[in-house]
Amino acid sequence: MEEKILRRINETIEFFGKRNDDKGLKLTIEAIEKAVDYVSSVTKMGIGEKVKKITFEGDNFSETVEGLDERRNIAHEALLTSCTILNRYYKNTYPDEFPLGGIFGLPKEKLESFNRQTAADWAMVAVKEIFADRQIRRNG
How do the residues of the chain divide into helix, strand and coil, expressed in percent and rounded to 5?
85, 0, 15
Please write the tens of the pLDDT for every residue from 34-44. Answer: 999 999 999 98
Please write the tens of the pLDDT for every residue from 41-99. Answer: 999 888 777 776 666 565 566 666 778 888 999 999 999 999 889 988 998 999 898 87
Q: Which of 9, 61, 3 is nearest to 30 (CA)?
A: 9
HSE-up of residue 29 (Cα within 13 Å, Cβ side): 8
Is the model's pTM score more than 0.85?
no
User: Domains of the chain, with CATH numbers?
Assistant: 4-139 (1.10.287.800)
Other Cβ atoms less than 10 A from the Cβ of 102: the count is 20
